[in-house]
Amino acid sequence: MDKVFIEGLQIDALIGIYDWERRIRQPLVFDIEMAFDNRIPAATDAIGDTLNYKAVSKRVIEYVSASDFGLVETLAERVAAIILDEFGVQHVTLKLGKPGAVRGARAVGVRIERSAATL
Ligand SMILES: Nc1nc2c(c(=O)[nH]1)N=C([C@H](O)[C@@H](O)CO)CN2
């Protein structure tokens, strides 16, 4: 299946389990891959036939900026559900990285795969 992807989408959010983390905003980085049949927009050359990565990015930025979860697991799950529910995507792979959260690691975080069929 074809994919539409969004790579390295950086968004500042309130996230974390420690008291000091509840008082600051931290950068999060999203890599998102969404299954989509790109043959139709390729034939019509029409933006309306695409899975519009700008529209998805805008929605993810809006949601994550306003969120305040403790765990990256929770946030990743909610963002994946939004993509499946609101954009008619059948399958999504989402990596959520929290750079700088662990000294010595470039980033830590989670990678999840979710399907509309199993929601
Ligand atoms: N699996 C997870 N482990 C940890 C998380 C998390 O969200 N998922 N969060 C933290 C702290 O908030 C950490 O990021 C602060 O440095 C620790 N482990």
pLDDT for the residue 100: 86
**Dihedrals phi, psi of 49, to nearest 5 degrees:** -95, -5
Predicted confidence (pLDDT) per residue in 38-60, tens digit: 999 999 999 999 999 999 999 99
Question: pTM for the complete prediction?
Answer: 0.97
- Residue 69: which CATH number? 3.30.1130.10
The protein residue whose alpha carbon is closest to atom 4 in ligand 1 is 71
Helix, coil or strand: residue 119: coil
Cα dist from 48 to 10, 38, 92, whole Å: 26, 12, 20
Where is 55: in which H helix or E strand?
A: helix 53-66
Where is 9: in which H helix or E strand?
A: strand 3-13
Show the domain range for 79. Answer: 3-118
Pocket of ligand 1 (CB under 6 A): 16-18, 21, 71-73, 98, 101
Other CB atoms within 10 A of residue 94 CB: 22
Other CB atoms within 10 A of residue 42 CB: 11
pLDDT by 10s per residue, the chain, length 119: 999 999 999 999 999 999 999 999 999 999 999 999 999 999 999 999 999 999 999 999 999 999 999 999 999 999 999 999 999 999 999 999 999 899 999 999 999 999 999 86
Q: How many domains does the chain have?
A: 1
pLDDT for the residue 82: 98
Order of all β-strands in the sheet with 26-35: 3-13, 26-35, 91-99, 107-115
Q: Which atom of ligand 1 is nearest to the CA of 15?
A: 12
pLDDT for the residue 119: 66
